[in-house]
Structure 1
Amino acid sequence: MERRLLLVSNSTLHGGGYLEHCQRDITRFFGRDVKRVLFVPYALHDQDAYTGTARDKFRSMGYELDSVHEAQDPVDAVRRAEAIFIGGGNTFRLLKSLYDNQLVTEIRRRVLEDGVPYMGSSAGSNVATVTISTTNDMPIVFPPSFSAVGLVPFNINPHYQEPPPGSRHMGETREQRIAQYHEEPDTPSVLGLREGSLLLVEGNRATLLGTSRARLFTRGEPAVELQPGSDLSFLLTC
């Protein structure tokens, strides 16, 4: 079975509601075959409220939503899932909870072996990659490893941005922080997804979608700007 991923930079875009900016992409991605989506709300503390928000949105799109935190057996819930959506929040909290509930391996198996559609937003996109080392979040908890689910062979930096014109802030830019990451040996490429951008992966094909450009960082090479519609399939063979 082919892997199918929809990796979104952000859940909310200025001027719109929750997942409104990518609603059309979501319904195209899940299609009519999927009836129920398993939601993973571990990235936020109030998982009941988070689930309520996601459930209302998915019902408006024609899908029922179950939350893994409501299941008696989270592993069994993943094994029975028609589709998986991992939402945003704190990436360290999310990954620790995935390890604590023994879901890292099971999610990887369902997506890569069974072809279960996987959608991630922000932190949910981070954990789909090689490691969470390029997240923007603070390490408020400590997962047993930075190694993530590994659905793609590169990393993502959601919410990627440059300093606004005229900024007097003297701290490192996002680009400088990614360059520091690439000072370490054997570090994978990093796809900086700006607000409003998302990546669609279908088998061995990857396409940049959305309304914003992305920026690709590869160790030892100049950064590259990518336009919406760009074919990024080469990233899947890195």
Structure 2
Amino acid sequence: MKGCRQALLLSSSNCHGYSFLEFAKQEISYFLKKNGVSQLIFVPYAQNDYDGYTKYVREVIDTWGFKVTGLHTYSDPMNAIKAAKAIFVGGGNTFLLLKKLYENNLVNLIREEVLTGNLVYIGSSAGTNVATKSIHTTNDMPIVYPPSFDAIGIVPFNINPHYIDHLEIENHKGETRDQRINEFIEMPHANLVLGLREGGILHVDGDSLVLKGVAGAVVFKKTESKTEYPVGTDISFLLNN
């Protein structure tokens, strides 16, 4: 859809009860076909084994009828992105991913290409984190230091992928995910955070934002209690924050 931002933002590529990406197969396939995409570039920068990671993703998505190539196989990543119709930014370590995107001068380029409708974006986990306002709400350890925490900005708020609000261990006395997110919300540079549950997908279609997948999300705002939104909810109002 030319001139209209198009993105699918997944909490993760893995979801309990499903094989790799299986829970999102229908959404991804429809999304790519709707946008006339038959080939997509996979961005493996969130992990170190680019060849192995790309092969793992290719073996799944190729069976759906789409051709996958790794961005690392192109001698000029910027020109590859400019020529591409769609990219899939995989999960791993968010700090590592963002650092590599900055090193290749891809952050601003991807933002411009997506917001002008020239590039379709799919992100999962770390790939979803870097599609947001900043990576302040990632769950990952800062194993490297990117030049900025500012991210691509396809959506104007932060996301916490893999969001959980229950404790796996009953005797756990440390901070909960909610406490960590609320610590961020108190900062002057924070606006809101969407906690995307495992199996949740955000579908961005121009100025429309709808929750899809097999799980919903919660929204944290300053001075407000968190709000739960189930699958199927139109949360387009978040794009205006």
Q: Give TM-score, length-normalised by structure 2.
A: 0.96
SS of residue in 2 equivalent to 1:159: strand
The alpha carbon displacement at 1:213 in A equals 2.2
Q: What amino acid maps onto 2:159 in structure 1?
A: I
- 5+ residue gaps, structure 1: none
Query: How does 1:121-132 map onto structure 2 within 5 Å?
Result: 121-132=124-135
Whole-angstrom distance in 2 between the partners of 1:212 and 1:152: 20
Bigger mean CA offset, 73-82 vs 28-37: 28-37
1:29 pairs with 2:54: no
1:186 pairs with 2:189: yes
- Indicate conservation of the 8 Å contact 1:8/1:125, yes or no: yes
* 1:111 corresponds to: 114
- Indicate conservation of the 8 Å contact 1:68/1:77, yes or no: yes
- 5+ residue gaps, structure 2: none
1:19-56 Cα shifts (integer Å, max 9, x gaps): 11110000011016111101100001111100001111
1:174 pairs with 2:174: no
SS of residue in 2 equivalent to 1:31: helix
Whole-angstrom distance in 1 between the partners of 2:183 and 2:115: 31
Whole-angstrom distance in 2 between the partners of 1:187 and 1:104: 20
The alpha carbon displacement at 1:115 in A equals 3.5
1:228 pairs with 2:231: yes
* 2:19 corresponds to: 17
* 1:80 corresponds to: 83
Bigger mean CA offset, 173-182 vs 25-34: 25-34
Aligned length: 238
Q: What amino acid maps onto 2:211 in structure 1?
A: L
- Indicate conservation of the 8 Å contact 1:4/1:115, yes or no: no
Bigger mean CA offset, 196-205 vs 160-169: 160-169
SS of residue in 1 equivalent to 2:174: coil
* 1:102 corresponds to: 105
1:150 pairs with 2:153: yes
Whole-angstrom distance in 1 between the partners of 2:92 and 2:168: 28
Q: What amino acid maps onto 2:93 in structure 1?
A: N
Whole-angstrom distance in 1 between the partners of 2:159 and 2:91: 13
- Indicate conservation of the 8 Å contact 2:6/2:121, yes or no: yes
Q: Give TM-score, length-normalised by structure 1.
A: 0.97
Whole-angstrom distance in 1 between the partners of 2:16 and 2:144: 29
- Indicate conservation of the 8 Å contact 2:6/2:117, yes or no: no
Structure 1 stretches of 4+ with a deviation exceeding 6 A read: none
Whole-angstrom distance in 1 between the partners of 2:158 and 2:107: 16
Whole-angstrom distance in 2 between the partners of 1:179 and 1:198: 22
- Structure 1 vs Structure 2 CA RMSD: 1.1
Whole-angstrom distance in 1 between the partners of 2:74 and 2:223: 45
1:126-163 Cα shifts (integer Å, max 9, x gaps): 00000000000000000000000011100100000023
The alpha carbon displacement at 1:164 in A equals 3.1
1:47 pairs with 2:50: yes
Whole-angstrom distance in 1 between the partners of 2:176 and 2:237: 27
